[in-house]
Amino acid sequence: MKHKIFHIVTCLLGIFLFAACSKQDDIQSSDEWPSIYPDYTNVTIPSNIAPLNFIMREEPEQTEVVLKGAASQLTSMGSHKIQFSEKHWKKFLQTEQGNTVNIQIKAKIHGKWIKYKSFYWNIVEDRIDPYLTYRLIEPGYEVWNKIQLKERNIENFKERIIADNNLTGGTCMNCHITGNQNPLLSFFHIRGENGGTILNRNGQLRKINTRNKDMFASATYGNLHPSGKYGVFSTNIVVPDFHTKAGEKLEVYDTASDLVILDFDNNRIIRSDIVGGTDFLETFPTFSADGNSIFFCVAPNKTLPDSIKNLKYSLCKIGFDVRTGQFGTQIDTLIYMDENGKSVSFPKPSPDGRFLLYSVSDYGTFPIWHRETDLQMLNLKTGEILDLPEVNSNYSDTYHSWSSNSRWFVFASKRDDGLYGKPYFCYVDRKGNAHKPFVLPQRDPYYYDYLLKSFNIPELSTGKLPFNAADIEKVYWKDKIEQFE
């Protein structure tokens, strides 16, 4: 009892002293925003996101943060690290969803209190899909040691490993791709002697050989049909090459690439001359939201690497017959890129079929190594191209994925340091306007300062995946690979 009373008195005394030090007469007002990291100033956030913890780069002795909403208020105190109570944060967001919240920060630096210019958070009712998967990998180009595929609940800070190459003989693992944000429909590739394409369909795992005797390579980039019956993939001969240009490390390009359909029910591979052959390079296929067509990128084949600067991919579309699994017979060019234009990669349609999000870079087919890479959005109803200046940075912005309600997308950006890709979330309102993005929040806001890995291909999902790293280990070592013809 005495201990409890002492604790209460101590807390009250601390609050009294803090308030005494914070008298208005002793505070100097600043017309600048506080230097916080991550940059969470003036952003739009969903009502189900984890706490936006941050650090004060000035490293003050004391900091007071007040979130003032229309109906409630939340206060957090600390020194240079601000971490909100998850319980109080969740209640605050639920109360204030649909409102704009004012954030006021006061900090004591070198014995003097400063009141910074306030900023805001728009807390929208449109929720974001609660799960995110990504590949964590060193951003190197010569040697990689440890690769993990992880799943994070972005409503809190719970994270788990869904695949680990230390359990599969140190083999390379490609990124995990979710079909239509459905946790019961996804795939990724494992290389190596016992590898294959790991297909998760209705919670059942299959290991598939995606290359038959008539193909020059296995499946690489791909996407799953809304029905779950088919997958569309490009088969690529990928060549990494070192740059001779100062400031650029690596160029990755294809010397051959075609499109194929995988029929998962009948274990067959479906090809077509219209999206195959040696004259053109076809890659990055993805089904439309209704599943009746396929978007992809295509460029005339050139002598590489000599003509790499002239390798420009256009955005195209071809029909798909879900009854037969066949490609259509006509290709439509949606965005044509000649030698004076940019190069398109990674087209991703919004689930409502309204927009197509894609990357543009000066040339080539591997945008993550191109500092100039930006995101653009095509209005599929009007044909208007949106440049998204609110979203893009001075470094690579690419590897994007939509939320199931088409109101959010996530992408990998190197904007913080030019080296490490981190997952950023962007809100797209009902008018099609994109808002300033914010990075995935972490329990410890110093997390990104210490992590020396990139987040590759962040993918949103409506639920938790039905497998873990131990399941993938078993499939790799013990399951027989399925042959497709």
Q: What confidence category does residue 449 fall into, taking pLDDT thresholds of 50, 70 and 90? A: very high
- pLDDT for position 245: 60
232 pLDDT above the threshold of 60: yes
Does 2 map to a domain? no
For residue 50, the surrounding DSSP H or E stretch is none
- 92 vs 58, which has greater pLDDT? 92
- Least confident residue range of 21-25, 138-142, 312-316: 21-25
What is the spatial distance between Cα 221 and Cα 281, in angstroms, rounded to a whole number? 13
Final residue in a domain of this structure, among 75, 105, 124: 124
Q: What is the pLDDT of residues 34-62, one digit of tens each?
A: 999 999 999 999 999 999 999 999 999 99
Residue 99: pLDDT band (50, 70, 90) is: very high
One domain for residues 265 and 171: yes
pLDDT at 307: 80
CA distance 461 to 133: 8
The CATH number of whichever domain residue 225 belongs to comes to: 2.120.10.30
**pLDDT one-digit tens code per residue, 352-391:** 999 999 999 999 888 887 889 999 999 999 999 999 999 9
Question: Given this model, what pLDDT does residue 241 score?
Answer: 64
Q: What share of the chain is helix, strand, coil (3-state, %, to 5)?
A: 10, 45, 45
Residue 15, pLDDT above cutoff 90? no
Q: Report the chain's C-alpha Rg in angstroms.
A: 25
Which of the pair, 117 or 251, is modelled with greater confidence?
Answer: 117
pLDDT of residue 146: 85
- For the domain that residue 103 is a member of, what is the CATH number? 2.60.40.1220
Q: How far apart are CA 69 and CA 71, in angstroms?
A: 6
| HSE of 407, CA atoms in CB hemisphere, 13 A | 13
Indicate whether 14 belongs to any domain. no
- Domain boundaries, position 354: 131-483
Least trusted range by pLDDT, from 338-342, 385-389, 426-430: 338-342
How many whole angstroms separate alpha carbon 38 and alpha carbon 257? 39
Mean pLDDT of the chain: 91
| 53 and 197 belong to one structural domain | no
* Residues 346 and 301 grouped into a single domain: yes
Pair 69, 143 in one domain: no
116 and 135 part of one domain: no
Asked if 273 and 365 sit in the same domain, the reply is yes
* 5 in any annotated domain: no
CB 256 within 8 A of CB 238: no
Instruction: Tell me, yes or no, whether 230 lies in a domain.
Output: yes
In this prediction, residue 410 carries a pLDDT of 98
Determine, yes or no, domain membership for 241: yes
Which of 272, 277, 275, 270 lies closest to 285, judged by CA?
A: 275
Q: Is the pLDDT of residue 481 over 50?
A: yes
Residues 136 and 105 grouped into a single domain: no
User: Residue 16: what pLDDT?
Assistant: 40
**The predicted structure's pLDDT at residue 200:** 98
Same structural domain, 301 and 435 = yes
Q: Which residues contact 356 (CB under 8 A, 6 or more apart)?
A: 295, 315, 334, 347, 348, 349, 350, 377, 378, 380
The residue out of 124, 153, 186 marking a domain boundary is 124
Q: What is the mean pLDDT of residues 409-419?
A: 94
Residues 270 and 408 reside in one and the same domain: yes
Domain final residue pick, 124, 139, 163: 124
Residue 7 is assigned to a structural domain of this protein: no
The whole-number pLDDT of residue 243 equals 55
Q: How far is 201 from 186, CA to CA, in rounded Å?
A: 7
How many domains does the chain contain in total?
A: 2
Considering the domain architecture, whether residues 103 and 160 belong to the same structural domain is answered as no
Q: Is residue 370 located within the same domain as residue 460?
A: yes
Does residue 339 have a pLDDT over 80? no
Looking at residue 258, the DSSP 8-state letter turns out to be E
Asked which of 28-37, 140-149, 387-396, 461-470 is least confident by mean pLDDT, the reply is 140-149
pLDDT for the residue numbered 144:
58
CA distance to 19, 46, 360, 390, 402, per residue, from 428 (Å)? 41, 11, 19, 11, 10
Percentage above 90 pLDDT, the chain: 81
Reported as a single tens digit per residue, the pLDDT across 237-249 is 877 766 556 555 6
Top pLDDT among 266 and 22 is at: 266
End-to-end Cα separation, the chain, in angstroms: 76
Residue 163 lies inside a defined structural domain of this protein: yes
If asked whether residues 65 and 164 sit together in one domain, one would say: no
For residue 19, being part of any structural domain is answered with: no
The answer, yes or no, to whether residue 19 has pLDDT greater than 80, is no
